[in-house]
Amino acid sequence: MEDTRRLDVLAQAMIGTIAAVAGLMTLLGLNSDRIWATLDDDAGHLPLIAAAVAAVVAIGLSLLALLVEQRRREAALLAGAAVAYLLALLLAVLSAASAANTAGRPTFTSVSLATTADGGAELAFVVKADSLDSDQRIAVEVGAGADFAEQVLVTTLRPSPLGRVEHEATLTLPGELASSVRIRAARTDDTLRECNESAVAPTCVILTVGQ
């Protein structure tokens, strides 16, 4: 009877560990897409892997506690399992926070540059950014002409209460500026960089009519 009760307690602890960690991640929005993105991040994947390891350790210590006869050792193993369980929950929170934080990096979507009937061009794009603080802003610049020196658009976007920016823009360019265009975006506390710089640099796109 005693062994059955201990097995029931162990089974509940194991199921509770897995369910609690998975449920907490789901509650915090860490879905399958976010998990893969977090695993692909050089720094962000560490808390996620550590959370899984801590959950396995909690289950392993619970199994060892079932096998020992001495009450003191059993209590020590169960205490270790409880610590590993709590650590798994903490790391799950850190994993979710890492997955949610994109550091306000902007990105362009739906980008196009098409010629118009009068020889000009129409530029369209959407700039998006997430995880912005309330005092952060996204700067957007559109340059055209020789070396993109002609600034067609310079604007600053503020985030929504949820820390997001999603702005759709459509610009009509005259013929002398229509052949090639550069659009760049970055947080205002960062730098608008060239398109050929580091892959982790703020978003920068060069468009040429006909491409």
Here the CATH number for the domain that contains residue 113 is 2.60.40.150
- Average pLDDT over the chain reads 77
What's the pLDDT tens digit per position in 69-92?
777 887 788 788 878 877 877 777
Given a contact cutoff of 8 angstroms between Cβ atoms, the answer to whether 156 and 188 are in contact is: yes
Are 9 and 89 found together in one domain? yes
| Percent of the chain's residues with pLDDT above 90 | 14
- Choosing from 41, 75, 102, the residue where a domain stops is 102
| Residue that the structure tokens 């509650």 belong to | 27
- The residue range of the domain holding 93 is 1-102
CA distance 1 to 105: 59
Average pLDDT over residues 106-123: 87
User: CA-based Rg of the chain, rounded to a whole angstrom?
Assistant: 26
CA distance 122 to 106: 22
